[in-house]
Amino acid sequence: MPKNFEHSSPNPSQEEAILTSEGPVLIVAGAGSGKTMVLTHRISHLIEKGVKPESILAITFTNKAAEEMRTRISAMKSHPYDEQAPGPWVGTFHSFCVYILRNSGKAIGIPRSFSIMDEEDALAMIKEALNDMGLDPKKYEAKKLRNIISRKKNEMENPNDWSSSGSGQFGNILLETWRKYEEKLTNAKALDFDDLLLKTVELFTKNPEILLFWQERFKYIHVDEYQDTNLVQYHLTKLLAQKYRNICVVGDIDQAIYSWRGADFRNILHFERDWPDAKMITLEENYRSTQLILDAANAVIVKNKARVPKNLFSRKKSGPKITLFEASNEEEEATFIAEIANHLVNPPAGGGMPPREIAVLYRTNFQSRIIEEKMLEKNISYQVIGVRFYERKEIKDTLAYLRAALNPDDVLSMKRITNFPPRGIGKVLLTKILSGEELSPKEQNKIVEFKKILEEVKKEVTEKKSSEAIKAIIKKSGLEEYFNDGTEEGEMRLANIQELVTLAKRYDPPAGGSAPEGILKLLEDAALMSDQDTIKKEENSIKLMTVHAAKGLEFKAIFIAGLEEGLFPHSALSGDNAELREEEERRLFYVALTRSKEKIYLSYSVFRTIFGERKINLPSKFLFDIPEELLERAEEATITLE
């Protein structure tokens, strides 16, 4: 066994998963079954038996999971993980593809300094494309078009081989918008999230010698959360692993909750078909939750048809029952949540639970508003997960200066900063510049001044450390002076961009390192940030988030709010594939239940106001899947944990 094993006596399934180092391996890992530990010790075992660390690849789905894996590998005394020395490559699918494309993308026309369009940028480009076509972005639902284009890219389609025939006027508009959108991306030397994956597969498919180079580089491949992979990710991992066949995937169909973004849980079902000699190992012992919680979760998920049979169990004592609260409306529900949470944190006898060990989960984001109100009334510290630092306007403005300096063809960033802070280059003048019209001497002077600023910014970016460059840019761009206007809002925005300087220090290159590389990495992380990356480790507060955002996290006590028909399970279940969608909603509820270590509070409202309309609700059908003996009504419940 690898040194420093986390459990004194690993269970037989864990040990088999760690020591089976060669050939294809499928690890079916139930919730809380120690899969991260298994993966990190598996990597440790490979290194101890002589595998070069740099030939090991581990792909996760969130930066948080990747950071945790790197930290655990680093803690193993047999091989300290050194960021500067060759080591296992650990990261997300998207960051891995950025790494490949920065190094090898030139073969398909992608420059090293390409820009990454986040969702806001991509939507802005779709709107531009519609405007170019003389169409109203509101009438033709730019967001809907963006989502369809994204889905088609995830299905490995492109506008050149997709026909709109038979799709009517909307199909023709979609195809033309897609073509213009791709043209804009190409001209801006930019890729959207979907392109990062798609272009990497294209690179490998069209250039066998480049594929061979990366196959030789990564001879041992690990993919976490394999049930959440889409078609492109499936092909990418298959291409990389086909030479040495050392591919280990970890997943759990019962936690497949991302079909709406293109994930296909059938990939995990097809693994043994694709790799006939694969070994399948099932991890069923749960180290997180009490047996009572697992009994409830098992009773819920067993009703799904599309799954690999397993039965989670725990050696922990049974634990307190699950508390169920029926509220008359959403305000009463939120009051209940805030009062119980306050009691958990500040019990009369003292010795309360740390706020960071408590989470409030809900199906959709709109549910957080009333819960936040009640938390504020009770003076409870909380953090809403999903409010992303890098999406704040002042941060995007600052980052746009960096992007424009590294990639002058990034028209979107150029448009963002040309007149911000205001420098007299309005929409009319900007249109004249972009169309190549002749400018007056006064207009020329404004452009010369702006170009001078941009040159200074470029000098800072290419010559200084990331933090020093951003500090200088804030001054030279005029952002500092603009936000330092004496107002509370200006002070807050200035504080945020100053915080960006602090964050940028972690991207400062080592002695002798290339200055722009740090900025490129900063821009990459900013674009690829997920909801979980917004969680502040040092912040001791109750977390409010959607169940989707809670995937992979754990807390001592959780609240699951809004368990009503039409909300959870969601009303989108009607129509085609209703049964498949209901199974996914059931998996989502299963994921919510298995986030808890000790205590669960479930609640629903008889009346709820949604989009201004007051509705009467039935309790969620999922509540009836939980055996009655595992539940207690709120009026009968004891608040203190066992």
Tens digits of per-residue pLDDT, 566-584?
A: 999 987 655 557 788 899 9
How far is residue 632's CA from residue 325's CA, in Å, rounded to a whole number?
9
CA dihedral 131, 133, 134, 139 (to 10 degrees): -70
CATH number attached to the domain at 12-101+197-285: 3.40.50.300
How far is residue 263's CA from residue 259's CA, in Å, rounded to a whole number?
5
Cβ-based neighbours of 362, under 8 Å, separated by 6 or more: 368, 371, 544, 545, 546, 547, 560, 561, 562, 568
Return the percent helix, strand and coil in the chain, to nearest 5: 55, 15, 35
- Domain 301-387+537-640 in CATH 3.40.50.410: no
Q: E strands along 392-517, which residues?
A: none
Are 142 and 127 spatial neighbours (Cβ–Cβ below 8 Å)? yes
How far is residue 616's CA from residue 618's CA, in Å, rounded to a whole number?
7
Element of type H or E holding 231: helix 231-241
124 annotated binding-site participant: no
Q: Which residues are catalytic?
A: 35-36, 224-225, 255, 595
Cβ-based neighbours of 482, under 8 Å, separated by 6 or more: 421, 422, 490
Q: What is the pTM of this model?
A: 0.81
Element of type H or E holding 411: helix 411-418
Q: What is the pLDDT of residue 538?
A: 58
Name the residue among 399, 356, 406 with its Cα closest to residue 528.
399
Are 603 and 563 spatial neighbours (Cβ–Cβ below 8 Å)? yes
Q: What is the pLDDT of residue 550?
A: 93
CATH classification (class only), 391-532:
mainly alpha
pLDDT in tens, 3-37: 444 445 789 999 999 999 999 999 999 999 999 89
168 annotated binding-site participant: no
Same CATH fold assignment for domains 12-101+197-285 and 391-532: no
33 annotated binding-site participant: yes
29 annotated binding-site participant: yes
The phi, psi pair for 131, rounded to 5°, reads: -60, -40
Q: What is the pLDDT of residue 477?
A: 87
Q: How far, rounded to the nearest angstrom, does the alpha carbon of residue 470 sit from its chain's CA centroid? A: 26
Q: What is the pLDDT of residue 137?
A: 82
Cβ-based neighbours of 548, under 8 Å, separated by 6 or more: 257, 258, 531, 588
Helices (H) and strands (E) in the chain — how many of each?
Answer: 25, 17
Which residues, in sequence order, are bridge partners of residue 221? 57, 247
Domain ranges of the chain: 12-101+197-285, 116-188, 301-387+537-640, 391-532
36 annotated binding-site participant: yes
Residues of the chain under the 70 pLDDT cut: 1-8, 77-85, 163-167, 387-388, 510-515, 530-538, 572-576, 611-612, 636-642
142 annotated binding-site participant: no
Angle formed at CA 532 by CA 247 and CA 70, multiple of 5 degrees: 45
Query: Which pairs from 203-207 meet CB under 8 Å and 24+ separation?
Result: 203/100, 203/101, 203/104, 203/105, 203/107, 203/108, 204/236, 204/239, 204/240, 205/239, 206/107, 206/108, 207/104, 207/107, 207/108
